[in-house]
Amino acid sequence: MVVTMLEARVAEERAAGLIEAFGGTGAALPSFIVESFLVQAAGSDLWRIVTVWASQDDLDAYQASVETPEGVRMFRSAGAEPTLTVFDVAAHAAHS
């Protein structure tokens, strides 16, 4: 598994648009995305889209298949330019 984090500062008056853009994608997630979250740092204008991918190969294939990734488009529509960080999952725990 791989986790990506797109991060940007979004003006308070643009946050509702980001939430709306993200909320409209839930049913359309590709099968190789395990899950995705839109999170905001408490009391801050810092937002992240955290996405869990089935594999690095799936992430690479997705990035090669689109001109602009959907998460980047969401942030840009809210007037922000995100930065991307990719993490390899070294261990995982979950409720069964």
Residue with tokens 């905001």: 40
Q: How many domains, in total, are found in the chain? A: 1
Query: What is the model's pTM?
Result: 0.91
Residue 65 lies in a domain: yes
Residue 96 lies in a domain: no
Query: 43: domain CATH number?
Result: 3.30.70.100
Residue 38 lies in a domain: yes
Q: Which pLDDT belongs to residue 96? A: 82
Could you list the residue range(s) of the whole structural domain that residue 79 is in? 2-88
Q: Which pLDDT belongs to residue 25? A: 59
pLDDT digits (tens, 9 = 90+) for 10-28: 999 999 999 999 986 556 7
Look at 84 and 27; give whichever has higher pLDDT.
84
Residue 77 lies in a domain: yes
Q: What percent of the chain has pLDDT over 90?
A: 88
Distance CA 90, CA 79 (A): 34
Residue 95 lies in a domain: no
SS (H, E, C) the chain: CEEEEEEEECCHHHHHHHHHHHHCCHHHCCCCEEEEEEEECCCCCEEEEEEEECCHHHHHHHHHHCCCCHHHHHHHHCCCCCEEEEEECCCCCCCC
